[in-house]
Chain A
Amino acid sequence: MRVKHSWFILSLVFISILIFLLVLPMANIFMASFTHPDGGFTFENFRTIFTQLYPYKVALSNSFFIGITGAILPFIIAFPLAYLVSRYEFRSKTLLITIISISMMMPAFIGAYFWVILLGRYGIITGPLNELLGTNFSIYGKKAILWSFMWGRYPLVFLFLYPAFSTLNPEMEEAAQTFGANPKRTFFSISLPMIVPAIVNAMYMSFIMCITDMGTPLIVGGGYIVLPTLMYQEFMTEVGSGRIPMAGAVGILLFLINVAVLLGGRYYITRRRYESISARRAQPKKLSGRGESILIYGLWTVVGLGLLPWLFAIPGSFIEWGRGGRAYWGSPTLDNYRLVFTNPTLSRGVSVTLFLTVVSLLMMIVAGLLIAYILVKKRYLVINRVLDILVSLPLTIPGAVLALGYVMFFNSPPIILTGTWMILALCFFVRRLPHMTRAIESTLYSIADAYEESSLNLGAPPLKTFRKITVRMLMPGVISGATLAFLFTVGTFSSTIILYTAPWTTIPILVYQNAAANTGIAAALSMVMLLIEFIPLLIVNKLTHGGIKIGI
């Protein structure tokens, strides 16, 4: 009896924590958005957004524009790539897919920054060309946002389309052919409609990522205003006033768009899930000789283009830079790195990032294990349902909006956390908790009850059994969840930019601060950040013999 109680109480504790960390801050923004500057209830804030052209209506339409274009553009790259990779067998195929999956984890706003370094007015590529041709070509502002969204999101789209193409029952296509459809007709009338669910899935995920992205428009947008940056601006101007109604209204709007698209997408997907009883899968065609070479060169060129900003950032972090992103290739130097590790602000940034990531990760592991266990093994009717919804909730809240909620909610009693490291750690923790919990949950489903029962049977009390048996068997789930959460947390920008205070500045913020004036330092910081992200990934991969899958 007592045992039952301990799990029951624990689930209530988690529900309270999540209400505290998610529901109350969001409720706070919600209330604020309906609050008059003088204190009363009002629709005025929302009316302003929908009636006043600048900046509100502009930001709204800009957001939809980059959201929709950002959902479509990546298909230009991902679609042919996924189709070809699924249809043909060639050397280096596995490596290609691995590289694409890894580039999905690259922080988007840093990629955008390096694209501008390459293709901006004085860009490494465009600068000399402009000089030579007397042109004025440059990607900056809207163009830069869309360009980097295209390259930044194509790996995500690819990872939706590729499995869809390769699991397509080939008999669906063959049937069309026996009725007289040539390959082109077969593709458009059968194959394409068959993968529509994956296309929609990729589109709405990409839309949400683009519309909630704050770092990219802030760093390369050049004043191109979208909802997250608008919210940030409002927040910065109102922050002194105590309540933040206008920023709150923009945040709530962004949140609602997010939820609507997410629910709409999910609803569509669950309605069209095509399953077939065929076990047969298409055999990718083996290529050899010229055909194979052409394909390999073609595919790697495209994937290589996507990595171009990173490929330039590596040598770029070892040279001197002039103002406006002029590269002096002739003056190699280690100064950028020396500064990162000796300058007190910069070096503190590195340790702060590590510290916050590790702390939030530890919290995630503990909470993720316990919550996943309750969700899978316990049968509390209402409690399980509520807990399940609460755990998924962070996926629907844009980071910047949640951060705004934190600033408002934790700025006054009962708990004041603004300006501390805890507010950052808690925000990081709760935002990636869903990834951790779901990863552990899926491992937990595959563990037979018998393992635990035999331990109980041998006399180990339930919590000890949980510690000694269940947790150990769950290690694969924990590692895969932790890897994903780690990668996300290190590069997180949109929530940090709102929550941080000077002593608790993270690397992404430092990159942003140095982006305009100190390209060399920004490049070196980015490299350090990538190392922090990928060295653990490599170690985990080695330890598990490549057995850890990083999925979405």
Chain B
Amino acid sequence: MSVPISRKAVDIKIRNITKYYGNTLALNKVSLDIKEGEFFTLLGPSGCGKTTTLRIIAGLTNSDEGQVYIGGKMVNDIPAWERSTAFVFQSYAVWPFMSVFNNIAYGLKLRKIPKNQIKEKVKKVMRMLGLDEMGKRRPDQLSGGQLQRVALARALVVESTVLLLDEPLSNLDAKVRVEVRQEIRRLQKMLGITMVYVTHDQEEALVISDRIAVMSKGVVEQIGSPFEIYSNPRTSFVASFVGITNFMEGRISSEKGNMATVEIGEGLSIKGQIDERIKQGQDVMLFVRPEDIEIGTAIQSRKSPAELEGDISQITFIGNMIRYEVKILEEKILTVEVHNPRKYKILEEGSRVMINIDPRSVTVIPR
């Protein structure tokens, strides 16, 4: 058995992967293109199939249908131990009967690397991760954050072409999580390896990734950069998962290029961004973030005139921002957030307000 050692990053292609657990469909024709040297995140709630996808890339789980290519090579029939993908587990899976040093050196020993080189490499990665002087410790003497670093060091030291991380931070407390998260990103950039990262935490995914695939119920909902995912969700699932609370139903009354006007009822309409899926007269859903809505007694700024009017039904003061619930239709209340509220006049409950929404911050998707 020989495990190739190479620092060269590789790409990963997944084609139409389907996986059943008994009668439950865990993955439904999932396809992904992960570029070499990319930090790619699989984001979704638990049970969405993200971990299964990761395990299929590593060869720890077999798919029922579809192909996995690593570095252009089909690996479906290659067992996990010959794939050269390092894996970081949610439970760390640091071997409790081995010292920290031996945990990290395990993969190197398998690669038949001379002893002095192993020592050197392990020392180096331990320094890189702030584990100096911990080589002799036993895992039960380490904190969660340190264990996670050992798991990471163990995966990095073998210089795999692909590093797979399954919710590596979910068992850490908030402060350590941010620390380790930045460390992972820094190392990935420095080493230029391809990383596939699984998380259910949208903030983590946005901060850390080059690109994100949002998954739900075994299906990839959207793939895009953090900015795209955040500002232009293409499905209602993605919109709600990345925290958009304002959504409205309507029908396209006119469209031009990537802009359209959407009738939302009672003669009101909102302009928004559309993609190629949207046609004239189509039933659609539109999303807008609370902080993208301008509000005032008389709209002072912007070239476009006020599109909507409404009554403030509730006010919540949250220090650095103020939240208004504005009733624009009999059945529709918009949430509006004004940051740094002391710069503006605070509006009163029950007062009539003008609402202005930048069309570029409104996402329209087919219903």
Contacts and interface: CB of A to CB of B under 8 A. Distances in A.
Interface of A: 169, 171-172, 174-183, 185-186, 189-190, 193-194, 196, 272, 274, 276-278, 280
B91 A169 contact: yes
Interface string B1-27: 101000000000000000000000000
B81 A177 contact: yes
A23 to B, nearest CB: 37
B171 A175 contact: no
Interface string B98-120: 10000000110011000000000
A176 B106 contact: yes
Given A193-B97, A276-B96, A180 B91 contact: no
Nearest to A286: B22
Nearest to B87: A178
A277 B154 contact: no
B161 interface: no
A175 B81 contact: no
A171 B92 CA distance: 8
B86 interface: yes
Contact of B107 (A172, A180, A196): A180
B91 A280 contact: yes
Contacts of B131: none
Contacts of B79: 177, 182
B313 interface: no
B246 interface: no
A181 B58 contact: no
21 contacts: A171-B90, A175-B87, A175-B93, A177-B60, A178-B58, A178-B85, A178-B155, A179-B81, A179-B86, A179-B158, A180-B82, A180-B107, A181-B81, A182-B1, A182-B81, A194-B95, A276-B91, A276-B93, A277-B171, A278-B90, A280-B91
A180 B60 contact: no
A308 to B, nearest CB: 38
Contacts of B237: none
B58 A179 contact: no
Nearest to A179: B107
B208 interface: no
B97 A272 contact: yes
A198 to B, nearest CB: 13
A174 B106 CA distance: 13
A177 B110 CA distance: 10
A259 B83 CA distance: 51
A187 to B, nearest CB: 12
A278 B59 CA distance: 20
Contacts of B106: 176, 179, 181, 189
Contact of A179 (B60, B92, B97, B110): B110
Across the A-B interface, the 7 shortest Cβ-Cβ residue pairs: A278-B91, A179-B107, A171-B93, A178-B87, A180-B3, A175-B93, A274-B96
A415 B333 CA distance: 91
Contacts of B171: 277
B348 to A, nearest CB: 51
B293 interface: no
Contacts of A175: 87, 89, 93, 95, 151, 154
Nearest to B107: A179
A171 B96 contact: no
B80 interface: yes
B84 interface: yes
B308 to A, nearest CB: 49
Contacts of A186: 81
Interface string B255-266: 000000000000
B81 A178 contact: yes
Contacts of A180: 1, 3, 81-82, 84, 107, 110-111, 158
Contacts of B83: 178
Nearest to B55: A174
Contacts of A196: 97
Nearest to A194: B97
Nearest to B110: A180
Interface string B142-171: 000000000100110010000010000001
Nearest to B90: A278
Contacts of B91: 169, 171, 276-278, 280
B97 A174 contact: no
B353 to A, nearest CB: 50
A182 B59 CA distance: 12
Most chain B CB within 10 A, of A177, A179, A280, is at A179
A194 B95 CA distance: 8
Contact of B86 (A169, A178, A182, A185): A178
Interface in B8-63: 58-60
Contacts of B90: 171, 278
A189 B90 CA distance: 21
A280 B52 CA distance: 14
A280 B91 CA distance: 9
A190 B110 contact: no
A181 B110 contact: yes
Nearest to B85: A178
A480 B322 CA distance: 63
A174 B110 contact: no
B99 to A, nearest CB: 13
B80 A178 contact: yes
A169 B93 contact: yes
A185 B93 contact: no
B89 A174 contact: yes
A548 to B, nearest CB: 32
Given A178-B58, A193-B95, 5 more contacts: A174-B80, A175-B87, A178-B81, A181-B81, A181-B110
Given A180-B81, A181-B81, A181-B110, A174 B3 contact: no
Contacts of A193: 95, 97-98
A367 to B, nearest CB: 39
Nearest to B138: A272
Interface in B302-340: none
| Listed residue (B59, B82, B86, B96) with the most chain A CB atoms within 10 angstroms of its CB | B96
A171 B81 contact: no
A183 B82 CA distance: 11
For B80, B92, B154, the residue with the greatest tally of chain A CB atoms inside 10 Å of its CB is: B80
Contacts of B89: 171, 174-175, 278
A193 B90 CA distance: 22
Contacts of A183: 81
A179 B96 CA distance: 17
A198 B194 CA distance: 40
A174 B110 CA distance: 15
A215 to B, nearest CB: 38
A454 to B, nearest CB: 39
A178 B83 CA distance: 7
Contact of A274 (B82, B97, B107): B97
Contacts of B60: 174, 177-178
Most buried by B among A175, A193, A272: A175
A174 B61 CA distance: 10
Contact of A190 (B82, B84, B95, B158): B95
A174 B59 CA distance: 10
B110 A185 contact: yes
A467 B107 CA distance: 62
A186 B106 CA distance: 11
A194 B96 CA distance: 8
Contacts of B96: 194, 272, 274, 276
Contacts of A278: 89-91, 93
Nearest to B151: A175
A272 B59 CA distance: 31
A176 B96 CA distance: 13
Nearest to A173: B93
B94 to A, nearest CB: 8
Nearest to B139: A274
A172 B171 CA distance: 17
A482 to B, nearest CB: 38
Nearest to B80: A177
A190 B151 CA distance: 15
